[in-house]
Amino acid sequence: MGHPFPIREIARQAGLSEATVDRVLNGRGGVRRSTAYEVHRAIADLDRQRTQVRLVGRTFMCDIVMQAPERFSTAVRAALEAELPALHPAVVRCRFHFRETGPAGELADTLDRIARRGSQGVVLKAPDVPEVTAAVARLTAAGVPVVTLATDLPASPRVAYVGIDDRAAGATAAYLMGQWLGDRPGNVLTSLSSGFFRNEEEREMGFRGVMRARHPGRALVEIAEGQGLDATQYDLVRAALERDPDIRAVYSMGGGNIATLRAFEDLGRTCEVFVAHDLDQDNTRLLRERRLSVVLHHDLRQDLREVCHHVMRAHGALPPAGPPRPSPIQVVTPHNMPLDTPLEPAAP
C-alpha cells in the first residue's frame, strides 16, 4: 500500500507501536486482522487530513469518541475536517472511535486506553452514566482535557460542553408543535434514542414543560431506547401507534426518522406534524420531500471549531475565554436550508 507517511506518524495516528505498523505494512505475520485494519484506517485518515492542512505549526493529536448513529458521527467527522484549515498555524490531527451502541463499560475501556496511550484532547459524545463519568475523571487525572459535544456530562471534570441549550430546543419544539396542531385533536409521540443521553433528557423536559403549560389536554406518548437506529425504531413506533390510535404528531429527539415515518405509512396513518433534530443526510432528504415539518439544527462546523479552541486553551496555546455560550438553534424549513447541507441522502 503506497503512502508518503513515516511509520512513526502512522503509529501515532493508529495508537500502535512502530513495530506493529511495520509488520502490517510489510505483510509479516502475527498481526490480527482488526489491527491491520487500524493501520490502514490510520493511513486513510492521515491522507484525508493532509489534504485539509499543511503539516506546519503546533500539532494537537486528539481523539474523537462518539456513541451515535453513523449518520451523525459521519456529519461530525466531515464538519471537523472541513474546519481544519481555519485552525492555522496550529494543526489538529484526529483519531476516531465511533460506535452506534454498546455497553457503557466498553466505552469506558476505550477512554482508559486513550488515557494510557496519551492524547492532547478527547472530544466525547457519550451517555451520562457513572462508568463514563469515572473514565473522564481518569483521563483528566492523566492530563488529558475532555470536551463534551452535543450532550453533556455535567458531573464529570470535563473542561467544557459545546452544543445547544437542549431545554430551550425542547421548548421551541413544543411551541412549533402547538402552533401547527392548533385546536385539532391528537396525541404527540415523543421519541428518545436513549434516556441516558443528557441532551435528549433536557429536550424532553423542555418540551413536556411547555406542552403541559400551554396544551394540557394533549397527551404525550413516550418511546425510548431505539438508539436512533431505524432497525430498532420501527418496532417501537409501530407498537406505540397500534396502542394509541390518536397519535397524529411526532417530536423526535434522537433520530430514526425514516423508520418512524415508515411505521405510520405501513399502518395507513398520517403524521400531521413532525419536528426533528439535526440536518444529517436522512433529515435533509425528508425535509426536502416535505415529510418533516421542521428541523431544529445547529452549525456543526462552528461547534467543532469551538471544541478545538477549548483543547488549545487547555494547553495554553490560546488565551483564556469567558464561559462558553450555547450554540444558536436554527429553525430550518424546506425554504431556508443552509447551503452546506448534504446533497446525497443516506440509504434507508
Give the percent of the chain with pLDDT over 70.
Answer: 94
25 touches 1 (CB < 8 A): yes
**Which of 278, 290, 293, 294 is CA-nearest to residue 341?**
278
Q: What is the pLDDT of residue 15?
A: 81
User: Which three three-digit cell numbers place residue 152?
Assistant: 453533556
Which residue type is seen at 285? R
Query: Is a pLDDT exceeding 60 seen at residue 126?
Result: yes
Which residue type is seen at 235? D
- List residues bridging with 124 in a β-sheet: 65, 148
Per residue in 231-287, pLDDT tens? 899 999 999 999 999 999 999 999 999 999 999 999 999 999 999 999 999 999 999
- List residues bridging with 59 in a β-sheet: 91
User: Which three three-digit cell numbers place residue 11?
Assistant: 503509529
User: What average pLDDT does the structure give for the chain?
Assistant: 90
How far is Cα 214 from Cα 71, in angstroms, rounded to an integer?
34
How far is Cα 252 from Cα 312, in angstroms, rounded to an integer?
35
How far is Cα 295 from Cα 342, in angstroms, rounded to an integer?
14
Cis, peptide link before residue 154, omega less than 30° from 0? no
303 touches 180 (CB < 8 A): no
Q: Among 43-47, 98-102, 166-170, 218-222, which stretch is predicted with the lowest mean pLDDT?
A: 43-47
Query: Is a pLDDT exceeding 60 seen at residue 55?
Result: no
Q: What is the pLDDT of residue 347?
A: 38
How far is Cα 134 from Cα 147, in angstroms, rounded to an integer?
15
Cα angle at 220 between 214 and 226, to 5 degrees?
Answer: 135
Query: Is a pLDDT exceeding 80 seen at residue 29?
Result: no
Q: What is the pLDDT of residue 2?
A: 58
Q: Record the pTM.
A: 0.80
- Read off φ and ψ for residue 251, nearest 5 degrees: -115, 110
Average pLDDT over residues 287-315: 94
